[in-house]
């Protein structure tokens, strides 16, 4: 009991240290090239967490979250252009952007969530292309040249810093929402759907309503951070706002970190986004193909050797190290041994505030 309490205290302390480090980051590293990494990393922490709130918890893999990201960027751009909003007041439009994201999520979700697994994935891809092509073809979206963001009067020297704090605030907010959802009855229903949707419905979970709510929540968050990203990089075009690589990158972030957990997508985003940004600046990687091969190779290694992601698998390894020599908490079923062990001791790593990914599973549902 005492050990548990001190472990929790340790986790809280680690969390506070992490947040403090995140806040101090632009004070320590003032080089704009470095803070640029920070801003984009925070943006992707938010996106991966938002993705995880829907896909990670419900098990419906969305390969079309760029629909919300791009729509958020375009919504902000169009509203600012047509209503002649400029300067920092643009940020007051963010709630509107969230509404746009939510409104888009309703029909898309109602159609896509009727089907499962592969078909769902492909439908999200189809919606993604529909949105990208609409951005190309309509005149109010600026066609293939896209939109420019309103002008900001911030000094160029510290330009990145306010964006860093805005993105950090979104990241912390998204993680908090993710944590709240995971703890709640709603989150439990989502994970019940992930484990066995028909059984969940049989037990009285209103599956469509639960799935759709998570989809809307995730979409609204993604749209808002998409708008922030647009304002940060000053422009959006159909290929950058609705980018197929974006969809895949977000999924890979979540999977590498450990999808369905809270810390997993955060860790994945913090590894992948700065990593790819850095690789692309290296002269020997110019042209992009070497970094692509490297990225693909790393993904293969991770999926083959840490199939459930760094956080759960790493937690498992730590548990195994700690319990070596003495009997561990024996999991109920051999088949579910791995996840059981991780769940019983919590993930030992101090960076995570999460437990293992598959804790609602009643042990061998499939």
Partner 1 sequence: MAHQIYQAVADGILEGGVYALMAVGLTLIFGVLDIINIAQGVLVILGAYLSYSLSVHLHIDLFLGLLITVPAMFLIGVVIYWAFIRRLRGTERTSMTLLVTYAVALIVEGVLYKIYGANDVELTASYVTSSVHLLGFYLSYIYIYGFILAIVLIAALYALLYRTRFGRSVRATMQDETAARLVGIDVNRVAALTFGIGVAVTATGGMFYGATSGGFNPNSGYDLISRLLAIIILGGLGSIGGALAASVFMLLLESLVTIWSPNWAIVVFYAALVLVLVIRPTGFLGRKAVRAQ
Round the CA-based radius of gyration of the chain to a whole number and report it.
21
Residue among 121 and 269 whose Cβ is closer to partner 1 = 121
Instruction: Closer to partner 1 by CB, 8 or 116: give it.
Output: 116
Closest CA to 357 of 341, 336, 343: 343
The minimum distance between CB 30 and partner 1, in angstroms, equals: 34
Min dist. Cβ of residue 17 to partner 1 (A): 32
* CB environment 223-259: b (16+ within 10 A), e (fewer): bbbbbbbbbbbebbbbebbbbeebbebbbbbbbbbbb
Nearer to partner 1, 9 or 300 (CB): 300
Closer to partner 1 at the Cβ: 42 or 237?
A: 237
**Which residues have CB under 8 Å from 279's CB, separation 6+?**
285, 291, 294, 295
CB of 55 to partner 1, least distance (A): 9
Residues that bind partner 1 (CB under 8 A): 61, 111, 114-119, 121-123, 125-127, 129-130, 133-134, 136-137, 196-198, 244, 248, 251-252, 255, 259, 287-293, 295-297, 299-300, 303-304, 307-308, 365-366
Nearer to partner 1, 123 or 190 (CB): 123
Residue 199: in which H helix or E strand, if any?
helix 197-202
Residue 236 host element (H or E): strand 235-236
148 DSSP β-pair partners? 235
Q: Torsion angle of alpha carbons 248, 120, 218, 260, nearest 10°?
A: -70
Q: Residue 69 or residue 164: which is nearer to partner 1 going by CB? A: 69
* Least distance (Å) between residue 345 CB and partner 1: 21
Residue 260 beta carbon to partner 1: minimum distance, rounded to whole angstroms: 9
Number of Cβ atoms within 10 Å of the Cβ of 365? 13
Give the pair of three-digit tokens for residue 199.
């059984």
Minimal distance in Å, beta carbon 91 to partner 1? 33
């Amino acid at each position: 009991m005492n050990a548990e309490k001190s472990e929790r205290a340790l986790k809280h302390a680690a969390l506070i240290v992490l947040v403090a480090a995140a806040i101090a980051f632009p004070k320590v590293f003032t080089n704009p090239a470095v803070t640029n990494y920070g801003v984009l990393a925070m943006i992707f922490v938010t996106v991966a967490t938002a993705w995880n709130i829907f896909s990670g918890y419900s098990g419906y893999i969305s390969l079309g979250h760029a629909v919300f990201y791009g729509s958020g960027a375009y919504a902000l751009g169009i509203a600012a252009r047509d209503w002649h909003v400029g300067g920092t007041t643009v940020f007051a439009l963010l709630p509107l952007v969230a509404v746009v994201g939510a409104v888009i999520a309703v029909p898309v979700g109602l159609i896509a969530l009727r089907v499962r697994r592969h078909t769902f994935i492909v439908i999200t891809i189809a919606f993604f292309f529909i949105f990208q092509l609409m951005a190309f073809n309509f005149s109010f979206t600026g066609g293939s040249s896209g939109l420019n963001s309103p002008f900001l009067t911030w000094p160029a020297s510290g330009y990145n810093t306010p964006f860093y704090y805005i993105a950090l605030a979104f990241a912390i907010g998204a993680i908090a929402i993710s944590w709240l959802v995971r703890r709640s009855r709603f989150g439990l229903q989502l994970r019940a759907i992930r484990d066995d949707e028909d059984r969940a419905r049989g037990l009285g979970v209103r599956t469509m309503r639960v799935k759709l709510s998570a989809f809307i929540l995730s979409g609204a968050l993604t749209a808002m951070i998409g708008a922030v990203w647009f304002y940060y990089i000053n422009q959006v075009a159909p290929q950058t706002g609705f980018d197929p690589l974006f969809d895949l990158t977000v999924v890979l972030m979540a999977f590498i970190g450990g999808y369905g957990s809270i810390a997993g997508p955060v860790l994945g985003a913090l590894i992948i986004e700065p990593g790819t940004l850095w690789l692309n600046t290296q002269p020997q990687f110019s042209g992009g193909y070497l970094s692509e091969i490297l990225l693909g190779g790393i993904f293969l290694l991770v999926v083959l050797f840490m199939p459930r992601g760094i956080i759960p698998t790493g937690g498992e390894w730590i548990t195994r190290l700690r319990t070596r020599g003495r009997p561990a908490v024996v999991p109920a079923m051999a088949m579910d041994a791995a996840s059981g062990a991780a769940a019983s001791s919590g993930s030992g790593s101090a960076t995570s505030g999460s437990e293992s990914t598959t804790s609602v599973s009643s042990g061998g549902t499939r």
